[in-house]
Amino acid sequence: MRALPGKASRQPPGPEPVSRDAAAADQRRRILEATAELIAEQGYQETTIETIVRRAKVGYATFYKHYPDKEAAFLALLDAAIERTCARVEDAYRREEGPWPDKVGAALGVLFEDVAAHPSAAHAVLVEAVAAGPEAAARHEAALKRLAPLLRPGRELNPRQARLPETLEETLAGGVVWVLSQRLIGGETAKLRAMLPETIEFVLRPYVGEDEAAREAGEVASELSA
- Nearby residues of 102 by Cβ (< 8 Å), 6 or more positions away: 96, 216
Inter-helix orientation angle 49-56/20-42, to 10°: 120
- Sign of the torsion angle spanned by Cα atoms 76, 77, 82, 87: positive
Please state the three-class secondary structure of 67-78 as a single string.
CCCHHHHHHHHH
Q: Which is nearer to other proteins, 101 or 197 (CB)?
A: 197
Concatenate the DSSP letters of all residues of 63-125 into one string: HHHH-SSHHHHHHHHHHHHHHHHHHHHHHHHHH--S-HHHHHHHHHHHHHHHHHH-HHHHHII
> What's the closest the beta carbon of residue 39 comes to other proteins, in angstroms?
12
Tell me whether residue 39 or residue 73 sits nearer to other proteins (CB atom).
39
Shortest Å, Cβ 26 to other proteins: 31
Nearer to other proteins, 91 or 135 (CB): 135
Q: Nearest distance from residue 126's CB to other proteins, in Å?
A: 10
Which residue lies nearer to other proteins by CB, 86 or 195? 195
Phi first, then psi, for residue 153 (nearest 5°) are -55, -20
Q: Are 155 and 165 in contact (CB under 8 A)?
A: no
* Interface residue list for other proteins (CB under 8 A): 43-45, 127, 130-133, 137, 141, 144, 160, 163, 165-168, 170-175, 177-179, 182, 185, 195, 197-199, 201-202, 205-206, 209-210, 214, 217
Q: Looking at beta carbons only, is 56 or 75 nearer to other proteins?
A: 75
